[in-house]
Structure 1
Amino acid sequence: MGTSLIFVSQLNMCESKEKAFFKLIHGSAKEEASKEAKIRVRPEEAGRWGESFEKLLSHKDGLETFTRFLKTEFSEENIEFWKACEDFKRSKDPQQILFKAQAIYEKFIQTDAPQEVNLDFHTKELITQNITQPTLHTFDAAQGRVYQLMEQDSYKRFLKSDIYADLIEGRPQRPSNLRRRSRSFTYNEFQDVKSDVAIWL
């Protein structure tokens, strides 16, 4: 019994930044369902999200609600990529920058990536050429294009959606249909596998 206590303690101490980032960009179905259940927004607060896309994304519940909306449209890769880039830009040491850049590239950028975002050839090619020596600005152009796409397209549909209307009117949230496209994968699929970074790099 004493041995298992030490073992658990060691596991907790070994929770690395890489594992945390893995969870960030892959998510967990249980965590998503929990977040959805916890979102409690006052109608006036939700109303402010309609003023600008920036206000929506800068509010924690706004970001989570918009992510939920994109999942109903099967285009959540856009917001997941944007969030991964925001986290990436807060990286400090070179090893962390390299690790996270590679993870983002493999999940969102490379051809046939599990959640490939829609980018023009030039932007994609530039990232591919620089991915071996990434900087904090490696994904700036791609993130900007994805942001613009969401602002001009998805955000406008979000403002007309039932999800947003329910919040504005103060109605209880309806359960979302969170089916996934077959080529996407989630952290959930790896729960029975040891958290070895080499598995997904």
Structure 2
Amino acid sequence: MFNRAVSRLSRKRPPSDIHGSDGSPSSSQQNPKSTAKWAASLENLLEDPEGVKRFREFLKKEFSEENVLFWLACEDFKKTQDKKQMQEKAKEIYMTFLSSKASSQVNVEGQSRLNEKILEEPHPLMFQKLQDQIFNLMKYDSYSRFLKSDLFLKHKRTEEEEEDAPDAQTAAKRASRIYNT
């Protein structure tokens, strides 16, 4: 269940806004490149499914992917309305990330670990303190390294090349039409 939720979260795409606020088609100059948004803040990165995917790739190489997976699981958990489903998700988060036997244990302060008894009466913000710790760990540690990583820089270069490519293709097509007529 957890893996499906993470997969769903990382695949979600925000609706494309193809028109500006005035109703005219928006240009690439009006919409900042995804890498520029990612570099602006960790929050922006985590709101973009492609950003989450790239950040996960980076964290996997650093052996700390569990941090972003925990953060995503907590975000999904906070949106859960059904009490029985909330109990199941809370237990899954606890067993996957917080238990001493967790398969993907996150590094949170010992005093902040939850007692298993709290899982019986879950509430949407029960993991908030721990989620904030992990967010800050990512923000002040992994995120800055991600922005300097080959993975990020390569994606940024590819994005810049793609942005330049349409102009070159259009000029080539115009030249082709001129010389082939």
1:131-146 → structure 2 map (5 Å cutoff)? 131-146=119-134
Counterparts of 1:112 and 1:65 in 2: how far apart (Å)? 28
Tell me by how many angstroms 1:127 deviates.
4.5
Counterparts of 1:81 and 1:147 in 2: how far apart (Å)? 10
Counterparts of 2:120 and 2:143 in 1: how far apart (Å)? 34
Tell me by how many angstroms 1:45 deviates.
2.0
State which structure, 1 or 2, has the greater radius of gyration over its C-alpha atoms.
Answer: 2
Q: Which runs of 5+ in 2 are unaligned?
A: 12-30, 160-181
In structure 2, relative to structure 1, the CA distance for the partners of 1:22 and 1:55 (3 Å cut) is closer
Tell me by how many angstroms 1:51 deviates.
1.0
2:112 to 120, 123, 126: 123
2:60 matched to 1:79? no
Retained in 2: the 8 A contact 1:85–1:139?
yes
1:57-76 → structure 2 map (5 Å cutoff)? 57-76=46-65
Counterparts of 2:32 and 2:83 in 1: how far apart (Å)? 43
Retained in 2: the 8 A contact 1:67–1:76?
yes
Output the TM-score relative to the length of structure 1: 0.63
Which residue in 2 is equivalent to 1:174? none
**Equivalent AA in structure 2 for residue 24 of structure 1:** A
In structure 2, relative to structure 1, the CA distance for the partners of 1:43 and 1:158 (3 Å cut) is farther
In structure 2, relative to structure 1, the CA distance for the partners of 1:105 and 1:123 (3 Å cut) is same
Of stretches 45-54 and 65-74 in structure 1, the one that deviates more from structure 2 is 45-54
Tell me by how many angstroms 1:134 deviates.
1.3
Counterparts of 2:108 and 2:4 in 1: how far apart (Å)? 24
Paired residues in the alignment total 139
Q: Higher RCO, 1 or 2 (CA under 8 Å, sep at least 6)?
A: 1
Which residue in 1 is equivalent to 2:41? 52
Q: Which runs of 5+ in 1 are unaligned?
A: 1-18, 36-41, 172-201
2:135 to 134, 147, 160: 147
Which residue in 2 is equivalent to 1:175? none
2:153 to 157, 162, 165: 165
Retained in 1: the 8 A contact 2:74–2:127?
yes
**CA RMSD, 1 decimal:** 2.3
Output the TM-score relative to the length of structure 2: 0.70
Tell me by how many angstroms 1:22 deviates.
4.6
Over 3 Å off, 4+ runs? 126-129
Which residue in 2 is equivalent to 1:88? 77
SS at 2:40 equivalent: coil
Cα displacement string for residues 85-115 of structure 1 (whole angstroms, at most 9, x for unaligned residues)? 1111111111011010000000000003100
2:4 matched to 1:23? yes
The percent of aligned pairs where both chains have the same amino acid is 37
Counterparts of 1:159 and 1:56 in 2: how far apart (Å)? 11
2:103 matched to 1:114? yes
Of stretches 162-171 and 134-143 in structure 1, the one that deviates more from structure 2 is 162-171
SS at 1:118 equivalent: coil
